[in-house]
Structure 1
């Protein structure tokens, strides 16, 4: 029967594609497509060969397992071929497999199966002679593999000598070399810290590690081994797959802790469903479950094809990775103002769910993965988490791709988007104004440590926003009893109590008001420090970075360079020869003192005499905090927040609604009755009274209460179970007092 030319051409095309992907997967350990796409190509090839048997050739990928061994590793010929497994991609396929066995094994009812996870790693054959490991090889093409003996010997889960004494003279065990997810994360962190390109997934990491030419590299990788079968054995393995595997375990060979013996189709289904539910909680990747007829005599009767045994099947999970296209990248604003890039994808089925969006986390992640609009990407969905782009298929990148650009303005409210130096996340500065942040802004504003609006809890705040009654904090003060009683489960008394609480909250402190605004990283202690530094909200709104930080020294010069320069000047008292000071300084060849930096030093210090009398801190680049707790990042948040007209207008409306606080009464030292004026306290440990109450007491007496111990701390108030703050205070010589000691301080006249 003649074969249509179109079918012949299609078969050749499929063979070429599968061979290419085999090479990428088995030889280079760098697959171009996810497993699901490879499985589809192979299935299409099998179907066309089944429809036209004349197309089957000895070198078709359907007639062997993988690819040729790498030329730079020694070839090993397997004494017993390492054939592959047939796949069941659906429950119907598993039912078909079970029915075929029932037909082929009359009287074998119920059929017992061994069940175990299908690990995602690299298959190896490990040979023991007289109980000692003598050789290890990869599967390769199923007949010939690569010798990786020295590398396998470095894997701690592989015994170099079998335990016990009743093992066969010759024993080959077969299993998977894999890497746990936690080990993979640690390895990639180390690789990225060196500035190298990380592995794409644990399978690639395991394969690349096992096939290193230098075993010392392999020894540093967190590899594991799990046995699932055997090859040549010099004695009969008995009657049961499960029993023989358990015997191997007794000799020190690691098995899967999930290995079980199940009964019939129902047992297989139950095992598969249970493992699928726990899949995401495992510390290793699996892509399915392997079921094998347990009775070895039945296995022998069923036999095998050139490709797979007829007595085993791999029931695959739905694919967790798929290949698709990045159609666009948009930016979403979260409840805390985080501006997150989201990839809009060509819709694709992943784990049984249609995925059209995937998170890109932040701009650092986009740059690390080199994601561009128009790219072909791997998309992964594990469990119920938001799908993410795993990596880009750079080799398939079209010429017309576009880079992803962080927006300068919030896509929701139009406020500036800032990304402080040293932070990965960009944020909207809209704060009180931005609709995306509205619920969190209202909740924070009303919280006990902010404006302390009793009765306005999280659920009520969300309800008010959802009903579109409240758009910014000032509108809370427009609520009336008549309007509130329309809310579900809000009686007249509750409504009246809330309105009264709103009225009481108008009288507050400057520190509480600053804290209530929700400026990023401005906590209670920082808000208190700002209230002490600035005498009005208008002064704080007008502040610039220079009002928080005083920069000193020369940019680019560190402490070591400054000390070496001063040390040189101390030991070389010569005068500056004719010419400029900058040229003379550059000629000293002090490490780190480049010509531009020497010029900056000369500009800062007008003469050599002035420079000689300087301290290293005056030369090296550093900054002095004018407000405790406010460094470069926090000052950027503060300035960015008040730079938005929306936020300034929202504050003005709060003031117009009647929010106020006492005017400053001058320096704390001048205040009558403030016994602790000018003193700085830190509180730690378990105390007999609420910490907030003690903090308020200290502040009423003129003290400053901070969150961390430093050389500027006067007292550490320590209760029971005081920890690291107590240790630090003792090391700095800070006076430590208990509540009794605090009482004595307050009683002093």
Structure 2
């Protein structure tokens, strides 16, 4: 029978299309995930072309998950934002074996058990992504972003051949799953791509991670499709089906559904087994076809994970146990000084290029003048170089050469190399006193102000900031809000659309939250956490500005250095002038209203668990209210729990609370409690 004899698809055509898709998905899985191809490339191409021909003749048969639909569509104007189902936390990193023993001891003590089982796997050096599947179909993918919100890169992820667009259906496949994975570039492909870029005279990438990240964030998915990216999936974050008791079972199910998972991985019955796996992977590291910088260690039992909970940025039940950095030998050609956004002077060694772990390094930080003196590094010295965390080049030590004549010891300059302002010393650090007169500090400060964790001004990156400062268009934060489209259009790389988008992003940043605004100001010792502490305590920018050093010292988590730094910043007339000008230009820093519970914090130190449905609150609203009042919400009941809030149809947590004698609140009691 001729399959192509009619313009409308028959049941025979539909059956053939379904069969071809199933075969191609199966062979994609064998080739890209299992690395065990069973047919020749020519036979695969024949199947693929037959499917393409059928879909061309019968467009109604085309489905989003068809193997032919991995690449297509016009380039995007920009990436849209996506809020993650659950925060994509980072891991605490450990280098010292004693810290690994301490990690195990802490977990066993808190869990009140003699032994803990761990699931361990390689720590891939790539880009973290969230993958969402519904009814077995790949629905959406996004970058990690700030951990709470990422960028929608679905079209780019669809180009990755190892990522199934349609999961293998079986009895355990839930209707909806959210998976965390890592996208990376195999080393041979990275080296080949860099070779081609060099031959063309284009700029090369420093390492496979940068190339993978740059490839995934291309606005044109057709360009991403030219990069041989690979994905591995290591965590089932959300599942609509029955929960898995262990991490090992969850990841094994990912593999059963056709998703690639980390290899090798191992179940370890003790911390000794974890250390053995680490030694084994360290020995195999240089023979692998992909970059790893350590292993990931996770408690296998998910109920234990729930009991231990999370810190603000990382889980308390998992760590990244890093490898010692790779080290190579080269020569110091010169030592120069770079100036950061705080004015700190950092000595940087310019090196004879040396390859460390597949990356060519030509410069390395010496951290501060005290470190230069301690290591006694001079121009002309032979030194051992490493990539700290396999990312940041660092000089480990000087290697003495018999009979060598050494250069003069390096000394900190008396004047800033950028603006010629005086340099002052604070402990081991030297600072330029130029502040906004110093273009290096100005550029760094504006980059920080516009960064994701601060005012999140999309499009105001390093290159654009440098142009704005060099052109004299921006001399302080207020000048950002004076920019016109005509001024932006004169900058390199900007056209009508991108200029409009930048102005829109600047306009959108005019109503920042108090904590982000305080963080963005770049006050010395005020990171994102301290900014939140200040915001929650004072509630309004005017109150922070008026605070005395004595007032600040009364706040939990604010020490003498931070208090002095905050007070000094707001006592500086130039800073107050810029804040006033920003207000005149329409910047309105959001206040924390009194009903949000800025003060007092009656729940400080109290642990809550929520179970069952609430009528007057969503689960998220109840959680936010508790946290605003200083409390903490955990997912499991223990002897340390202070309150269990039980709505209608409570689960097993209600029974556990009764058994442990934990105070149980109904919704009315909880509502009265939060109203104070």
TM-score by length of 2: 0.39
**For the pair shown, which has the larger CA radius of gyration, 1 or 2?**
1
Superposition TM-score, scaled by structure 1 size? 0.36
